[in-house]
Amino acid sequence: MLQPNNGVTDEVYKGHGGTFRNTMAEIDTPDPSVIYKDGYYYMTFTHNGTDIMVMKSLTLDFRQAERKVVWYPPAETAYSANLWAPELQYIRGSWYIYFAADDGQNENHRMYVLQADSGDPLGGYTFQGQVTDSSNRWAIDGLAMEVDGELYFVWSGWEGEVNIAQNTYIAPMSDPLTISGPRVLLSEPQLPWERAGGPPYINEGQSVLHHNGRVFIIYSGAGSWTPYYSLGLLALKPGGNPLEAADWIKSQEPLLAMDEAAGVYGPGHNSFTVSPDGSEQWIVYHATTGADDGWNNRKARAQPVSWDVDGLPVFGKPLPLSEAIPVPAGMGVLPAEAALRSGGKLEFPSLPSTVDSEVPLLVHYVNPGGEPAGAAVSVNGGPPAALQLPPSGEGQTGYAYLSLPFTAGKNTVAIELPEGVVAEVKAIEIPRYEGEAQAMEGDAAAEDNPYASGGAGAVLGGSGASLKFSHLQVPHSGTYTVLAAVMNASPDAELELSVNGGARIGYSPLPQERNQPSLWQLELKLQRGANEIILFDRQGSFSIDYMDIWQKSE
């Protein structure tokens, strides 16, 4: 077991950082709806059109997410078939899922809503009926929008009974279940890029974005079955009335479109989420890797949103799957508010591991008292390990490391403080960086491996290949233990490692059984804030499963 570390800093630390790579899941996840709340990301999506699934993850990587079908439609109803584009929303203290469905005939698609029975979005739901205006026309892709305390429903619909074009409509709501006024037409697919692949011509997949008091509707245009599927923008004028079509300004060109050079086709049907610390907004959208994929191979991807000088959103080009993206600020930090609390005991559930593995635990705490506090830390109800939490100072955060034995599947970490101590646990995180999530150069590629920590690894296949672990964050400057798990090395394999551009350190992996790691452990000086560690392939081949970073007690 690692020795506990006790470090205190008054600097702002937002988590261990690192990078991730799209896609967000290994399965098709068209029409992704992602929301962050209380330490977890939740995603729902069009799940074969037969039911509604919700996934729960500590990060934007949903490969190890907890997954549950939360609702099956009853047979032989108006909403038994073709369940499309569910939208998971938390509105005024309750979870809702809006979805489109029909009876097997597309012309009968209408919008419906589920309401959660509890505060758990993976719990049970009650069907609350149809969400409709008085016209009761064809409707899909609906969601609620709140502006200045008033609720509105935004959706894609037909003007009449014939599938000629899908328009963007809005209507007022008296509550999250009820439309309370006539629909208003906001946008028709009249721009050249919106009409690609038609007829029918498309405005659909509406989503809502708020920033600095401004309100935006992002929608998808062009045929969803084509590589031309793209994202457009409706911007509400400052102080404008959401029910006045003239108060919405439509951009003439798409904000996100296919990029053949990046191998991204049909980027569309998006949602928005935030970084765990609330400082960043992220767009989540689906796209394919082939121009002829049609409705196949649509997988969720994420990238950060930026803003231009006029306060309008900028998405940039869709990022290639090879790009390592810095994680959202604070991602992977699980706050104490997300734990199950019983007296002085906190339980943090749903911590995933593909395999049995020793993992580093970083505990954030405050201890304003003058004496160390002893915490008992256990995994899955096993024997507790002792963790010392030295005084952190009034209003200061301390950090303590410990190693824990995770088992394959979902793990629960319990931390218990004795009665009467003044120390308080604020959050936990697992500072492990998976090899497959890093930037790769030369003959290097991600490869699935069920025996690896995250179900995959990075394979380096010859001299000139490298693996770059970037945006590695530590709470304070000092000497840290860095452990690299090397797997399936050829007999002649030789590695080198460099920290923040410094001198290279060499290593020859010890022979191991197939898919068993050779653990390379080093003591390295890291700076508070971002660090970069690069692994180089000098010769031979090998796989990097993961890299752990922790700090021993001094």
CA distance 492 to 540: 5
Q: What is the CA radius of gyration of the chain?
A: 25
Residue entry with tokens 């609620």: 144
Alpha-carbon dihedral angle through residues 526, 530, 534, 535, given to the nearest 10 degrees: 70
Residues with Cβ < 8 Å from 43, sequence gap 6 or more?
24, 25, 29, 32, 33, 34, 54, 55, 57, 62, 65, 88, 284, 300
CA distance 15 to 330: 5
Residues with Cβ < 8 Å from 223, sequence gap 6 or more?
196, 197, 198, 202, 229
Is residue 106 classed as helix, strand or coil in its secondary structure?
helix
Is residue 247 classed as helix, strand or coil in its secondary structure?
helix
CA distance 290 to 264: 7
Residue 150 CB coordination number (10 Å): 12
Report how far apart the first and last C-alpha atoms of the chain are (Å, whole number): 16
Which positions are catalytic? 31, 204
Length of the chain: 554
CB 96 within 8 A of CB 114: yes
Q: How far is CA 447 from the centre of its chain?
A: 21
Sign of the torsion angle spanned by Cα atoms 108, 199, 179, 48: positive
CA distance 101 to 75: 12
- What residues form DSSP beta bridges with 364? 399, 427
CA distance 114 to 333: 30
- Burial zone of 543 (CB within 10 Å; 0-12 exposed, 13-18 middle, 19+ buried): buried
Residue 361 CB coordination number (10 Å): 25
DSSP string, 231-289: EEEEEEPTT--TT-GGGEEE-SS-SB--BTTTTBEEEEEEEEEE-TTSS-EEEEEEEES
